Copies of this chain bind each other. A is one copy, B any other.
Amino acid sequence: MTSPDLTADVVTLTRALVDIPSESGDEARIADTVEAALGTLAHLTVERLGNSVVARTGLGHPERVVVAGHLDTVPAAGNLPSTTDGDRLYGLGACDMKGGIAVALRLAATVTAPAVDVTYVFYECEEVEGDRNGLHRIATERPDLLKASIAILMEPSDAGVEAGCQGVLTADITVRGERAHTARSWKGVNAAHRAAPVLQRLADHTADRVVIDGLEYREGLNAVAVRAGVAGNVVPDECVITVDFRFAPSRSAEEAQAFIRNLFPEYDVDITEVVPGALPGLGQEAVTSLVRALGVTPRPKLGWTDVARFAGLGTPALNYGPGDPTLAHSAGEYVPLAQLRECESRLRDWLTAPRHAPRSAPTP
């Protein structure tokens, strides 16, 4: 295993990381690489959980911050190996989020004397079901590793700050009927026909727009799947509508569930997943000082990200990383070279700027 050269520039390092395939579930090689590269550095203590790697400074500062990113990517789509074209770096994960990982690795390797203690978290399986997520495992097994006054998740956010995130609820609404041969359809009850009011209610719903800390979180309520059908000559006895509800972080998971159940009181509603969102926390000192240092205007994060896991642990968190978030998971994803450099530079400045007083309660 050749370790990447962490003294090389961030663009070179991003290309090297893109060229290590790391589809979810197959992160052993990239985790080995990261562990080996950081393990040689005297100012860091490195631990490994599965294919997640945690590296910490232990300088005794009263404040600690987390810088985190996931090592995995969605499956390749003909977009390996990496290429560059002008001021863009193309390739699987360039945007989501090998660029952010490269920035974090550069900081871990080169900021040997930060003004705060720093915990770098490189984790596995973010792109798949939540119970495989490496950050979930760390939060469960070693929550102490995630305690900090603030966490920065290096998810692509166009080198701006995306604060908080929506919650996500999925539910199956099942409408029932009674089978019959279509030649004698009056002997049955068509479940697909009975599903019309469910779809119409979804169509008629006006999603809320919730403003929190000056940021607008626009909700969304959608049927993402409709399934009915037994055979070509059978009146279907079941129609299942899968609903996706993106809800503002001001609603709790329980409130989101109640909202959906109240919207469809007469139907069989099975909540299959619900994960709360995260409040932007812009009123918290740790967040405002970071936003000020980065010199950006926060935007609301609409998709769900792991900032919600930090929020669940009581650690304010925000997304800040290179790359356009709408390019994530696209075959043509890329990261602008300038954003790689800008993110590295601004975070380096922030990590090394002298602190006059703890901005938050000290962590043990």
A166 proximity list for chain B (CB < 8 A): 183
Binds B, one of A25-33, A236-244, A346-354: A236-244
- A109, CB-defined interface residue at 8 Å: no
A231 proximity list for chain B (CB < 8 A): 224
Are B303 and A220 in contact, CB atoms less than 8 angstroms apart? no
Question: How far apart sit A103 and B190, CA to CA, in the bound complex (Å)?
Answer: 38
Question: How far apart sit A46 and B9, CA to CA, in the bound complex (Å)?
Answer: 87
Are B223 and A185 in contact, CB atoms less than 8 angstroms apart? no
Question: How far apart sit A229 and B236, CA to CA, in the bound complex (Å)?
Answer: 18
Of the candidates B220, B225, B236, the one whose C-beta lies within 8 Å of that of A236 is B225
Contact with B along A174-208 (1 / 0, CB 8 A): 00000001111110001011111101101100010
Question: How far apart sit A1 and B100, CA to CA, in the bound complex (Å)?
Answer: 75
Question: How far apart sit A195 and B235, CA to CA, in the bound complex (Å)?
Answer: 18
Question: How far apart sit A186 and B225, CA to CA, in the bound complex (Å)?
Answer: 17
Are B229 and A227 in contact, CB atoms less than 8 angstroms apart? yes
- A43, CB-defined interface residue at 8 Å: no
A220 proximity list for chain B (CB < 8 A): 182-186
- A319, CB-defined interface residue at 8 Å: no
Are B196 and A200 in contact, CB atoms less than 8 angstroms apart? yes
Question: How far apart sit A184 and B299, CA to CA, in the bound complex (Å)?
Answer: 14
Q: Distance in Å from the Cβ of A331 to the closest Cβ of chain B?
A: 15
- A56, CB-defined interface residue at 8 Å: no
A181 proximity list for chain B (CB < 8 A): 303, 326
Are A195 and B232 in contact, CB atoms less than 8 angstroms apart? no
Are B199 and A203 in contact, CB atoms less than 8 angstroms apart? no
A231 — nearest CB in chain B belongs to which residue? B224
With A196-B199, A233-B244, A244-B233: A223-B190 Cβ-Cβ less than 8 Å: yes
Are B192 and A223 in contact, CB atoms less than 8 angstroms apart? yes
Question: How far apart sit A228 and B239, CA to CA, in the bound complex (Å)?
Answer: 12
- A138, CB-defined interface residue at 8 Å: no
Question: How far apart sit A190 and B203, CA to CA, in the bound complex (Å)?
Answer: 8
Are A304 and B199 in contact, CB atoms less than 8 angstroms apart? no
Of the candidates B170, B184, B199, B232, the one whose C-beta lies within 8 Å of that of A224 is B232
A185 — nearest CB in chain B belongs to which residue? B220
With A222-B185, A224-B236: A241-B200 Cβ-Cβ less than 8 Å: no
With A190-B202, A196-B200, A223-B193: A182-B246 Cβ-Cβ less than 8 Å: yes
Q: Distance in Å from the Cβ of A51 to the closest Cβ of chain B?
A: 24
Q: Distance in Å from the Cβ of A46 to the closest Cβ of chain B?
A: 34
Within 8 A of B (CB), among A283-335: 302-304, 326
Are B235 and A229 in contact, CB atoms less than 8 angstroms apart? no
A241 proximity list for chain B (CB < 8 A): 192
Q: Distance in Å from the Cβ of A213 to the closest Cβ of chain B?
A: 19
Are B183 and A226 in contact, CB atoms less than 8 angstroms apart? no
Q: Distance in Å from the Cβ of A133 to the closest Cβ of chain B?
A: 16
6 A-B pairs with the lowest CB-CB distances in the bound complex, closest first: A225-B229, A185-B220, A196-B199, A193-B203, A196-B200, A192-B223
Where the two chains meet, the residues of A that have a C-beta atom closer than 8 Å to any C-beta of B are: 166, 170, 181-186, 190, 192-197, 199-200, 202-203, 207, 218, 220-236, 239, 241-242, 244, 246, 302-304, 326
24 A-B residue pairs with CB within 8 Å? A181-B326, A182-B220, A183-B303, A183-B304, A184-B220, A184-B302, A186-B207, A190-B222, A190-B223, A192-B225, A193-B202, A193-B223, A196-B202, A197-B200, A223-B228, A224-B229, A224-B231, A225-B228, A225-B229, A226-B226, A226-B227, A226-B229, A227-B227, A229-B242
